[in-house]
Amino acid sequence: MSQPIRVVLADDHAVVRKGIREFLEAEEDIAVVAEAGDGAEAVALVAGHLPDVAVLDIQMPGVTGIEATRRIRAEHPSVRILVLTAYDDDPYVFALLQAGAHGYLLKTADSSQLVEAVRAVHRGEPALDASITRKMVKELVRARLPGAPSAVEALTERELEVLRLAARGLTNKAIAHSLNLSDRTVQGHLANVYGKLKVGSRTEAVTEGLRQGWIVIE
């Protein structure tokens, strides 16, 4: 028998981790080798165990799932990452896929979908929730609509900073704290970004930023 798929599981709710672990370990070909309660611990456990797959939540104390994904992909590119979250907001989706996540599954998925997603990313295949796939297709279609503008007005350095933090899934309040600005100032910068990009929402702004190459995951 081949070796089981070794998994590191990260979620800040112990009860949720317990349930996910039970679902996964009910399968003979999957073994959870470590559990983390936050993103920093997840990064450390991945470094220590070098699992096949890391299953990460987005909203965790300290280091978020987005930042944890970036670090793991940079330091351990062979580790496959499956995001398991309650959030399907577009900025989260685009930021995580740009950060290198191999799969994105919602917590509304049943146990068989979770198990198959772990197996799929381990095989090197993408594993996306159906709603996430629809979002991606919608954006690809919109990007190719006839008459779509090919050039947009350049953003200031501060506007780019705000947009890049928005792409990482940060709230306006978190962006303000990160840049030592007021919430109102951040709102003003985002309004300027919307105007220059000719978009009407945060999601469209992030999508356009990705398309223009202004948002790049190092």
Q: Which of 140, 172, 204 is the last residue of a domain?
A: 140
CATH of the domain at 37: 3.40.50.2300
Angle, helices 202-212 vs 90-99, to 10°: value is: 30
Range(s) of the domain holding residue 177: 157-212
Half-sphere exposure of 41 (CA within 13 A, CB side): 13
> Same structural domain for residues 68 and 17?
yes
Residues 70 and 134: their CA atoms lie apart, in Å, by 24
pTM: 0.65
Residues 6+ apart with CB under 8 A from 147: none
Looking up residue 207, the CATH number of its domain turns out to be: 1.10.10.10
Q: Within a 13 Å sphere around the CA of 5, how many CA atoms are in the beta-carbon half?
A: 26
- pLDDT of the chain along its 218 residues, tens only? 579 999 999 999 999 999 999 999 999 999 999 999 999 999 999 999 999 999 999 888 888 898 899 899 999 999 999 999 888 777 777 778 778 888 889 998 899 999 999 998 998 887 888 777 666 656 555 555 555 545 667 899 999 999 988 887 778 888 999 999 999 999 999 999 988 888 877 777 877 787 777 876 44
- Are residues 123 and 161 part of one domain? no
CB 128 within 8 A of CB 136: yes
The residue among 6, 9, 29 whose CA lies nearest residue 20 is 9
